[in-house]
Structure 1
Amino acid sequence: MQEYLFPIKIAILTFPFLAFLFTFPFAIFQYKKHGYINKFRTFILYSFLLYLLVAYYLVILPLPHVRDVKSLQSPDTKYFNLIPFKFVSNIIKETGVNIKAPSTYKYLLTERAFLQVAFNAILLTPLGIYLRYYFKKNIKQTLVITFLVSLFFEITQLTALYGIYNAPYRIFDVDDLFLNTFGGYLGYIIAPAFTFFLPNMNELDKVNPEELRVGYFRRLLAFLIDIFIVGLIPNGNDNILLDAVIYFVYFILIVYFTNGRTIGKWLTSVSVKGQQDKLRFKEVLVRYGILYFIIFGSNKYLYIIYGQYNGTDIGYGGVIIFMIQFVLNILIAIHIFLCVLKKSRFFYEKISKTRLVISRK
């Protein structure tokens, strides 16, 4: 039992890191396809991700302690089994079960050969359930996908984890392909019993995303994408003038000419909305002038200037400016906290009379 519990523990420990990496592309895909993120769909997909991680770790773990696996094996070690249904003869040979005596069948539950077969049969059973319920695959598609996943596992073993080790530490077994695929088929058949009380995936998105408000995670994701893109543009080693030009072009001119979109906003299906259908230049200028030139810009430029003095010889005037900026940042942070708490618009949105809306055009 410990050999199965160990991979599960490792999967649970590594899942948060993988989930974090998965979050951003998943969010972008959901925003582009559905216009919003459904909490139940998120739960199903993250549970699916955890299941795949557990299944993969069950196949490859525990790992050998050395790369030179071949030196630990006998010269006649076999790395594959191409004889179909060999597991049947293994069970008969290794167990004390008498086919003609049903009373002996109970001993199967304690025999390694049978438990190994049962494990391979149920390993991809959840995959069949997911494929039918969430991904809406038919029986043929489920069998093909399950077989390919099983083949991926077997190739991973045959190639010694794709060359990391100098010899396979687990064998390629044709029986595993059959048992795994059968498990996927079994999952497809029993899926209705597991999903009877779950929402119908076809009815999950009967909402109008454009009537929903733009959430703060969505705002943050669009902002991070835009900042990342702007950060890729060389700015001449913190050239203040060039920096201002880049921000003006990206966050003001582009937003104005695209009627409220940047790359980050396009990927998250949101746009800036003014008082009319067409954004006015003044609205964009005020909104992002306050946000990027007054708030972010002043902080960045003060940081550059303060860094040039290395914290010394900055003078009383510089200290006063620094303290004023610090107090303003505290006030802005309190303002953001209250806006998030009350779900109200930020001050630069109210001043510019703009807001973010969901737009999938």
Structure 2
Amino acid sequence: MQTYMFPIKIAFITFPFLAFFITFPFVIYQYRKYSYINIFRNLILYSFLLYLIVAYYLIILPLPQTTDVRSLQSDGTKYYQLIPFNFIFDFLKETNVIFAKPSTYINILKERSFLQAAFNGILLTPLGIYLRYYFRKDLKSTLLISFSVSLFFEITQITGLYGIYNAPYRLFDVDDLILNTFGGYIGYLIAPIFTFFLPKSNKLDDDIDLENLNVSYFRRFLAFLIDWFILGFIPNIENNILLENIVIFIYFICIVYFTNGKTLGKYIVKIKIKGKNKRLLFKEVFIRYGILYYCVFGVNKILFKTIDINKTEFVNYIIIVMFIVIIINLLIFLHVLLCVFKKDSELFYEKISKTRNVIETSKKN
């Protein structure tokens, strides 16, 4: 049992790091496909990711301590087993069960050959459940995918983790293909038992009104990060105030006006700026982003620049400027914090410009 617990423990340790690594592309995919984030769908998909990590670690861990595994193996080491259902003969050869005595049947739960066959049968059973419930695959597709995943596992083993090791450190076994695929089949059959109380996966979005759904601050921040990541490729933009202001005017004001509310970042996460009318006015865009970038960010930049230029002189003056910077940013921070925790609230520059973020619903996926 310890042999199986070690890979599971490592999977739970590495899962948060892998989940964090894929979060941004995963969230963008969700926004592009569904136009919003469904918490239940996320739980299902992240649990599926965790399952895949556990399954993969179970077939590769523990790793050998050296890449030269061939030197640790005896001559004639067998790397593959191609006789179907050989696990039955292994069980009959090794078992201490006396079939005429039912009282000995309990011993089967302690025997290596049975546990190994049971493990290979159970390994892809959850996959069958996921495929039928969430991905809505039929039996034929489930069997094909289960077999393909099992074949991937066996190829991983026979290639010594794709050449990392100079020889296989686990056996390629055709019985594993049979048992893994059978496990996927069992998972498909029992899926309704495990998912009876869960909402149907094809109805998760039925009651969602995208037109009246609030745009989360996380979604807005993600669009902001994408926009400034793109602008970061413009040479010398951070050190040239004039260039930065021109870029801001073109990108956040002119482009948003001509696209009726979208930057590239907003387009990627499927949101846009909306004014009082169906068509966004130039005045609305100019006020919105003028306040945000030229006033808020601009004033901050000027004050910090003032501090940097005069840091060796006028000590009292610098203290006053620093105090002003702290007060301004503290007030803005508190305002944003209140808006984040209070639903249907607007940031100050949105109220002044009479604009807001809405979900882009013009294109159906």
Is the structural similarity TM-score above 0.5? Answer: yes
**2:126 aligned with 1:126:** yes
**Conserved 8 A contact 2:238-2:244:** no
Runs of 5+ consecutive residues of structure 2 not aligned to the other structure: none
Name the residue aligned to 1:65: 65
Per the normalisation by structure 1, the TM-score is 0.94
Per-residue deviation at 1:256?
0.9
User: What are the equivalent positions in structure 2 for 1:206-221 lying under 5 Å apart?
Assistant: 206=206, 207-221=208-222
Name the residue aligned to 2:225: 224
Per the normalisation by structure 2, the TM-score is 0.93
What secondary structure is seen at the aligned counterpart in 1 of 2:161?
helix
User: What are the equivalent positions in structure 2 for 1:5-44 lying under 5 Å apart?
Assistant: 5-44=5-44
Map Cα deviations across residues 273-309 of structure 1 (whole Å, 9 max, x no partner): 1111111111111111222232234434555665567
**Conserved 8 A contact 2:81-2:171:** yes
**2:4 aligned with 1:4:** yes
Amino acid at match of 1:250: Y
Name the residue aligned to 2:359: 358
Are residues 211 and 117 of structure 1, via their aligned partners in 2, closer, same or farther at CA, if it must alter by over 3 Å? same
d(CA) in 2 for partners of 1:283 and 1:37? 29
User: What are the equivalent positions in structure 2 for 1:134-283 lying under 5 Å apart?
Assistant: 134-206=134-206, 207-235=208-236, 238-283=239-284
Amino acid at match of 1:267: I
What secondary structure is seen at the aligned counterpart in 1 of 2:162?
helix
Are residues 116 and 337 of structure 1, via their aligned partners in 2, closer, same or farther at CA, if it must alter by over 3 Å? same
Question: How many percent of aligned residue pairs carry the same amino acid?
Answer: 62
Name the residue aligned to 2:296: 295
User: What are the equivalent positions in structure 2 for 1:82-101 lying under 5 Å apart?
Assistant: 82-99=82-99
Are residues 297 and 9 of structure 1, via their aligned partners in 2, closer, same or farther at CA, if it must alter by over 3 Å? farther
d(CA) in 1 for partners of 2:44 and 2:60? 25
d(CA) in 2 for partners of 1:187 and 1:107? 26
Per-residue deviation at 1:183?
0.4
Per-residue deviation at 1:102?
4.6
Name the residue aligned to 2:51: 51
Name the residue aligned to 2:335: 335
Are residues 308 and 9 of structure 1, via their aligned partners in 2, closer, same or farther at CA, if it must alter by over 3 Å? farther
What secondary structure is seen at the aligned counterpart in 2 of 1:162?
coil
d(CA) in 2 for partners of 1:34 and 1:328? 38
d(CA) in 2 for partners of 1:170 and 1:307? 62
Map Cα deviations across residues 11-51 of structure 1 (whole Å, 9 max, x no partner): 11111111112221221122121121111111111111111
**Conserved 8 A contact 2:284-2:354:** yes
Question: Which shifted more, 180-189 or 13-22?
Answer: 13-22
Question: Which shifted more, 294-303 or 151-160?
Answer: 294-303
Amino acid at match of 2:290: G
> RMSD over aligned Cα, in angstroms?
1.9
d(CA) in 2 for partners of 1:306 and 1:179? 70
User: What are the equivalent positions in structure 2 for 1:302-341 lying under 5 Å apart?
Assistant: 302-303=303-304, 306=307, 311-313=311-313, 316-341=316-341
Are residues 72 and 301 of structure 1, via their aligned partners in 2, closer, same or farther at CA, if it must alter by over 3 Å? farther
Q: May I ask how many residue pairs the two structures share in their alignment?
A: 360
Name the residue aligned to 2:109: 109
What secondary structure is seen at the aligned counterpart in 2 of 1:160?
coil
Map Cα deviations across residues 94-127 of structure 1 (whole Å, 9 max, x no partner): 1123455554433211101110000000000000
Amino acid at match of 1:327: I
What secondary structure is seen at the aligned counterpart in 2 of 1:336?
helix
Runs of 5+ consecutive residues of structure 1 not aligned to the other structure: none
User: What are the equivalent positions in structure 2 for 1:76-87 lying under 5 Å apart?
Assistant: 76-87=76-87
Are residues 93 and 236 of structure 1, via their aligned partners in 2, closer, same or farther at CA, if it must alter by over 3 Å? same
